[in-house]
Amino acid sequence: MITSKPGYLLGRLSDLSDPTRGRILLALEGHELGVSELQSILQLPQSTVSRHLRILSDGGWATSRSEGPSQRYRFVSQQLGDGQLRLWELVRQDLSGSRAATRDRERVRAVLARRHLRSRQFFATEPARWDHLREELFGPGYETQIAFGLLERDWVVGDLGCGSGAVAARLAPFVTKVIAVDESAAMLDAARLRLADQRNVECRQGELELLPIGEAELDLAVMALVLPHVPEPGRVLGEAARALQAGGRLVVLDLAPHERSEYGQTMGHLWPGFAPGQVQEWFSSAGLVEPRTVSLPHDPSARGPGLFLATARKPTLA
Ligand SMILES: C[S@@+](CC[C@H](N)C(=O)[O-])C[C@H]1O[C@@H](n2cnc3c(N)ncnc32)[C@H](O)[C@@H]1O
């Protein structure tokens, strides 16, 4: 709240003229507290605490939000103008060594410990319920989203064999650009529909054997469930490596070896899954280094074969 209105700071000075209001702000520094918590910290009746909080809120010292039927208050010094901040620093210095402030600090700690106790009790008695509640609240597999935090904001990512764009849609919010490539016009139409609101996704029609992507255009290339469809996976991985920057990473998510021979008829699979050694050999022929393959845990609700994740990196320039 920055203002140059004459008399404004005098008004703010009177906000702090009562030591109780200074003690409230000290307690609220770094902690969000409810009225009843402030009551127990300041050892004052609710009406007194509420009256002081109203003055602090009106003066722009404290902000609040509703939580159920009650309000929680915060003191955010970054929101204060220069003059108001200087006033607070003077009052803070004057008050913080006082016996009252020292006792308040101890009681703030006790209040926070009591709050943490509730969560400790919950987790001590409900481990099984937590798994159920977590899925009910956030859906299955929400934790896999943590991995998206590893993506760099300025990256250009290739979703190679993008199909209907499900992977591109997940990646797009985290990076500068996603280039989604597929040979199928029908799949790309579906991808464009899905990705209509994601302006940083560019759909390009083309073949994985001759990518419509320039040399070193990508920081990361991903290929999900694509390799069983291509006659020469080694060639496709080599082409992906060409499109990567030095130091860029290729990530392949695909089927582990399986015996579902019907996939040849139904989906045009040419390969019955891939053993880790096979993929690593192709990585190495493509000039990729630091190969790693991890079998993914089987999702009990999924009917398909097991999956693996394989990654390797294009060497950095010497
Ligand atoms: C099983 S879908 C996977 C789509 C997507 N990656 C996903 O996880 O949902 C395989 C996709 O690869 C594409 N594809 C297969 N071979 C290709 C090739 N040689 N060049 C370009 N796209 C190809 C197909 O058109 C299809 O959309």
From the number of C-beta atoms within 10 Å of its C-beta (0-12, 13-18, 19+), residue 302 rates as exposed
Please report the pLDDT score of residue 92 as a whole number: 94
Per-residue pLDDT at 266: 94
Whether the per-residue pLDDT at 2 is higher than 50: the answer is: no
Tokens (6 digits) for 167:
């992977």
- Return the SS3 of 315: coil
Q: How far is ligand 1, taken at its centre, from the CA of residue 235, in Å? A: 15
Q: Give the closest residue (by CA) to ligand 1 atom 1.
A: 225
Gap from CA of 246 to ligand 1 centroid (Å): 25
Check pLDDT > 70 for residue 172. Answer: yes
Report which residue type is found at 78.
Q
> Which tops the pLDDT comparison, 129 or 32?
32
Would you say residue 17 has pLDDT above 70?
yes
In ligand 1, the atom with minimum distance to the C-alpha of 207 is 20
Tell me, in angstroms, the distance from the centre of ligand 1 to residue 18's CA: 70
Q: Using the mean position of ligand 1's atoms as its centre, give its distance from the Cα of residue 141 in Å.
A: 23
Cβ within 8 Å of residue 13, ≥6 positions away: 87
Residue 210 alpha carbon to ligand 1 centre in Å: 14
Residue percentage of the chain with pLDDT more than 70: 99
End-to-end CA distance of the chain: 53
At residue 1, the pLDDT reads 46
Instruction: Give the pLDDT score at 118.
Output: 85
Tell me what the mean pLDDT of segment 163-192 comes to. 98
Reported as type and span, the H/E element at residue 253 is strand 244-255
Atom of ligand 1 nearest to the CA of 161: 12
Closest by CA position to 168, among listed 144, 143, 198: 198
Residue 10 confidence (pLDDT): 85
- Span 235-254, average pLDDT: 98
Pocket probe for ligand 1: among 170, 182, 239, the residue whose CB has the most ligand atoms within 8 Å is 182
By alpha-carbon position, which residue is closest to atom 26 of ligand 1?
A: 163
For residue range 247-288, list pLDDT tens digits in order.
Answer: 999 999 999 999 999 999 999 999 999 999 999 999 999 999
pLDDT (tens digit, 9 = 90+) per residue, 100-159? 999 999 999 999 999 899 888 888 887 788 888 898 999 888 888 999 999 999 999 999
Whole-structure pTM value = 0.81
Pocket of ligand 1 (CB under 6 A): 161-163, 166-167, 182-184, 187, 207-209, 224-226, 229-230
CA 224–ligand 1 middle distance (angstroms): 8
Average pLDDT of 3-20?
83
Cα 199 to its chain centre, rounded Å, is 20
Residue 4, pLDDT above cutoff 60: no
pLDDT at 315 over 50: yes
Taking CB atoms within 8 Å and a gap of at least 24, the contacts of 288-297 are 288/237, 288/241, 288/250, 288/312, 288/313, 288/314, 288/315, 289/313, 289/314, 289/315, 295/256, 296/253
CB 54 within 8 A of CB 15: no
Q: What is the DSSP string of 56-125?
A: HHHTTSEEEEEETTEEEEEE-GGGS-HHHHHHHHHHHHHHHTSHHHHHHHHHHHHHHHHHHHHHHHHHHH
> Would the pLDDT of 3 be above 70?
no
